[in-house]
């Protein structure tokens, strides 16, 4: 690849993954903004994959006060009996306060200095980046056994959130119930009277068909590309990103092209058709796991095609990255994972975090 690789804010791992690691990686990445699927060799997305998005129910709550997330009915009904994903919308991580509720029962408040000084709740120990940017993270364990009314901790937390400041946010919310009989839209019914507006968040889909796309040759046992038969894994990653952005890579000679010097890594094969599918919205890890499995079935059925890839984008303004790891804005807030499907049930996982 002709373009240089800025590795300053980039964390990249590529391993041949087992199924458990993959599912834990997916389910640990709670807040997903967008999905990109690149399928060389087809015109359109297979039916099995688009079915996964059918029963996805995500909502946007407008003007919900934060103390509602600490109330006992909410905790009993939604936090304990399923997987709840909530993220504050329209808030920027470096300038505003951000709130998130994770499925393992943590309410995370990522606060600016002024809000923290007025609120009166204790924060966790600051990391170096948090000290530099003067932000404080308050974590409340909603599933703790001591967190109930009558106890000092609960009472003071509720009082602080309710009376000290008017912390009101818009939220993205999605809930996957443990019990299959309960519909996940009950979370919207619960919040109808507690906030200003509840609206259904639909997914924006975009499908594009690319013709005669050069695809890199990938070999599972040779990630570095030393043998000359396959490409280096970093170049493959850049190629995936370039295709997703719609960069024109047909011009081979880098000097003549003005707009971009990106080209397909060698050795490559020409692919007559390729389907590029992008969907954005608030997507739960459960849906992504289904998509992953469906794509895996598809690629094992069609082994002669170049490798397919699935990219999961997280929110730029999410206060946590994965598994309660704090997220900051270094240059930008990108956090994404890419899976490259290789023959014989193998898979590469890339992770890029700009924080």
Partner 1 sequence: MTEKQQSEPAQMTLPTVTNVEIYSSLEREDLHSGKNSMNTSQKKSWLADFTQEHLPANRLRSNEDDMSNKFLSTSTSRRYKKRHSKQKIKVSRSIHAKLNHTQRKLAKDLITSQNQKYSTYIPLRRLWTSYIQDLMSVDMSKVTAPVFMTLAQKMMKADLHGCPLTVRRSKCPGYVGVEGIVIQETRNMFTLICQDDKVRCIPKANSVFTTVLQNVVFTIHGNQFLVRPGERAAKKFKAKSTIDL
Torsion of CA 333, 334, 336, 338, to 10 degrees: -160
Task: Choose between 163 and 229: whose C-beta lies nearer to partner 1.
Answer: 163
* Shortest Cβ 67–partner 1 spacing (Å): 15
* Shortest Cβ 118–partner 1 spacing (Å): 5
* Shortest Cβ 142–partner 1 spacing (Å): 19
Task: Choose between 73 and 150: whose C-beta lies nearer to partner 1.
Answer: 150
* Shortest Cβ 150–partner 1 spacing (Å): 16
H or E element: which one contains 50? helix 47-51
* Shortest Cβ 121–partner 1 spacing (Å): 6
Task: Choose between 113 and 330: whose C-beta lies nearer to partner 1.
Answer: 113
Question: Residue 325: CB partners within 8 Å, gap ≥ 6?
Answer: none
Task: Choose between 19 and 118: whose C-beta lies nearer to partner 1.
Answer: 118
Task: Choose between 122 and 199: whose C-beta lies nearer to partner 1.
Answer: 122
* Shortest Cβ 134–partner 1 spacing (Å): 10
Q: How many CB atoms lie within 10 A of CB 249?
A: 20
> DSSP per residue over 274-335, as a string?
EEEEEEEEEE-HHHHHHHHHHHHHHHHH-TTSPPPEEEEEE-TT-SB-STT-B---SS---E
Q: Give 169: exposed, middle or buried? Use CB within 10 Å, 0-12, 13-18, 19+.
A: buried
Is 73 in a helix, a strand, or coil?
Answer: helix
Task: Choose between 82 and 120: whose C-beta lies nearer to partner 1.
Answer: 120
Task: Choose between 76 and 117: whose C-beta lies nearer to partner 1.
Answer: 117
* Shortest Cβ 165–partner 1 spacing (Å): 10
* Shortest Cβ 319–partner 1 spacing (Å): 18
Task: Choose between 136 and 315: whose C-beta lies nearer to partner 1.
Answer: 136
End-to-end CA, the chain: 25
What the block records as the tokens of 291 is 């998509």
Q: Which residues bind partner 1 (CB under 8 A)?
A: 113-114, 116-123, 159-160, 164
212 phi-psi bin (left φ>0, alpha ψ -120 to 50, beta other): left
> DSSP per residue over 203-269, as a string?
PEEEEEEEEEEEEE---TT-TT-TTSSS--HHHHHHHHHHHHHT-------TTT-SS----PPSSEE
């Amino acid at each position: 690849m002709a373009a240089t690789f800025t590795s300053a804010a980039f964390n990249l791992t590529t391993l041949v993954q087992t199924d458990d690691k993959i599912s834990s990686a997916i389910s640990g990445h709670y807040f997903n903004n967008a999905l990109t699927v690149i399928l060389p060799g087809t015109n359109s997305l297979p039916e099995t994959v688009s079915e996964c998005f059918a029963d996805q129910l995500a909502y946007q709550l407008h003007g919900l006060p934060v103390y509602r997330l600490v109330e006992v009915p909410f905790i009993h009904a939604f936090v304990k009996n399923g997987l709840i994903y909530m993220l504050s919308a329209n808030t920027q991580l470096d300038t505003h306060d951000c709130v998130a509720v994770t499925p393992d029962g943590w309410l995370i408040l990522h606060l600016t200095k002024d809000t923290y000084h007025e609120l009166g709740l204790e924060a966790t120990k600051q990391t170096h980046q948090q000290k530099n940017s003067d932000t404080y993270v308050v974590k409340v364990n909603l599933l703790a056994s001591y967190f109930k009314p009558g106890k000092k901790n609960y009472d003071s937390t509720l009082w602080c959130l309710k009376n000290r400041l008017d912390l009101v946010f818009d939220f993205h919310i999605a809930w996957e119930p443990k019990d299959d009989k309960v519909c996940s839209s009950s979370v919207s019914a619960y919040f109808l009277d507690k906030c200003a507006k509840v609206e259904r968040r639909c997914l924006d889909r975009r499908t594009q068909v690319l013709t005669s796309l050069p695809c890199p040759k990938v070999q599972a046992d040779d990630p570095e590309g030393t043998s000359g038969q396959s490409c280096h894994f970093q170049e493959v990653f850049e190629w995936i990103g370039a295709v997703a952005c719609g960069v024109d890579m047909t011009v081979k000679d880098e000097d003549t092209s003005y707009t971009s010097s990106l080209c397909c890594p060698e050795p490559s094969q020409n692919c007559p058709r390729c389907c590029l599918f992008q969907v954005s919205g608030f997507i739960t890890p459960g849906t992504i796991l289904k998509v992953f499995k469906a794509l895996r079935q598809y690629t094992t059925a069609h082994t002669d095609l170049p490798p397919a890839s699935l990219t999961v984008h997280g929110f730029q303004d999410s206060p946590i990255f994965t598994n309660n790891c704090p997220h900051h804005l270094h240059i930008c807030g990108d956090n994404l994972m890419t899976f490259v499907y290789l023959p014989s049930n193998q898979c590469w996982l890339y992770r890029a975090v700009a924080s």
